[in-house]
Amino acid sequence: MIIGLTGENCAGKSTVAEYLMKKSFYYYSLSDVIREELKAGGKPITRENLIEKGNALRERHGPGVLGRKVSEKMHEDKNYVVDSIRNPAEVEELRKSGRFFLFYVTAPPDIRFERIKKRHREEDPQTYEAFLEIEKLEMENQDRTKQNLSETFKAADKKVTNDSGFRELYDRVNAALAEVSDEFKLERPSWDEYFMRIAKVVASRSNCIKRKVAAIIVRDKRIVSTGYNGTPRGTRNCNEGGCPRCNNFSDSGQGLEDCFCSHGEENAIVQAAYHGISIKGGTVYTTFSPCLICTKMIINAGIREVVYNVDYPIKDAPLKLLKEAGVKVRQHKVE
C-alpha cells in the first residue's frame, strides 16, 4: 500500500510520515527528487528554489514527473508513504500502482502560523498577514506544470485534521488507515469511545431519580477523577427522598436552584480538589453537555476540552461560554 501525503505548510505532514514509518512504511518525498536536482546544479535548497525547480521539472518532463520518478523506485512487497505531493498529475501517476491512497493533512491557519514561528527559520514569513498572502499565491495555478495545492487537496481519499496533540493525530491516522485497508482495521476502541463508555459506567452509580449523569476527567490519557450526580456527601441519597426537587419531578431545566443534587462534572472537579489532584489542562468526558454552573467550574478549573455524549436540555449558553473561554467542545455519541 502507498499512502500519499499532501497539505498546507506546517499542517503536520512530516509528523504523519514519521508515524507511518514506525509502522514499517518506507519513506519517499517528491521534494527529494527536486533536492537532488538542486544539489547537482549547485543551488541552495530554499523553499523558493524548491518551488522553482519543481515547476521547471514538470514543464520539461510533464506535470506528473515527480510521482513517476518515485513510483519507479517502489516494490510491490512493501508499504510506502510519499510526502510533498503538490500537483494532481503526481497523484495520477502514483494511482497507477492500484494501491495508492492520498491523505490530506490539514490544520487551521492560525495554528500552522504558530508552528512556523516556533521553528525560527529566516525565510519564513514574520507576520500572519504575510503568511496568508504567500499561502494564497502557492495554492492555485492555472498552469498544469506548476504546483496546484487546492486541486491536489480535492483529490484526497481521506482528510486528517491535525489541530490537537500527537495522540489525537495518531488516532485519526489510524482511523484513516483502517478505512482504506483491512490490514489496519482497528480492533480497539478510540480514546473517545473508551473514555465515554467508562463515563457511562460511572453514571450507573448515580443516586438521582431523574437522570443518571457522570463525568470523568482525563490527563495524558489517564483518568484522574470521576463524578456522578447525586446529593452531597453524608446526606440522604436522592432516591431515598434526599432531593425535594427531583422527588417532586419538576420540569426539566426548571427549579434548579432548589435541587440538592450535585452534577457529575461538579463532583468530578470537587473530588479532584478534595484529593489534591491537578486537573489543569485536562479533558472532561461527560454523558451530558454541561449546565451553566458546571461550565463556569470547568473554565475556572483550567480544563482545556469538553467531550460530551448527548445534549443537556439547557445547552446553548453553556456551550457559547465554553467557546468564548477558549475551551474546546466536541460531541462524541455512544449508545
Positions marked catalytic = 265
Burial class (CB in 10 A: 0-12, 13-18, 19+), 72: exposed
Query: What region, left, alpha or beta, does residue 153 occupy, with left being phi > 0 and alpha being psi -120 to 50 degrees?
Result: alpha
Q: Residue 284 pairs with which residues in a beta bridge?
A: 217, 306
- Give the Cα-Cα-Cα angle 190, 194, 197 (nearest 5 degrees): 135
DSSP state of 179: H
Residue with cell 491537578: 278
Residue with cell 472537579: 269
Strand ranges of the sheet holding 222-228, from the earlier edge strand across to the other edge? 222-228, 214-219, 283-288, 305-310, 328-331
Q: Are 285 and 216 in contact (CB under 8 A)?
A: yes
In single-letter form, the type of residue at position 238 comes to C
- Mapping DSSP to helix (H, G, I), strand (E, B) and coil, where does residue 224 land? strand
Query: What region, left, alpha or beta, does residue 129 occupy, with left being phi > 0 and alpha being psi -120 to 50 degrees?
Result: alpha
CA distances from 170 to 17, 55, 174, 219, 239 (A): 11, 32, 6, 17, 43
What angle in degrees, to the nearest 10, is found between the helix axes of 292-300 and 316-324?
A: 20
Longest Cα separation, the chain: 85
In single-letter form, the type of residue at position 303 comes to I
Q: Are 292 and 314 in contact (CB under 8 A)?
A: yes
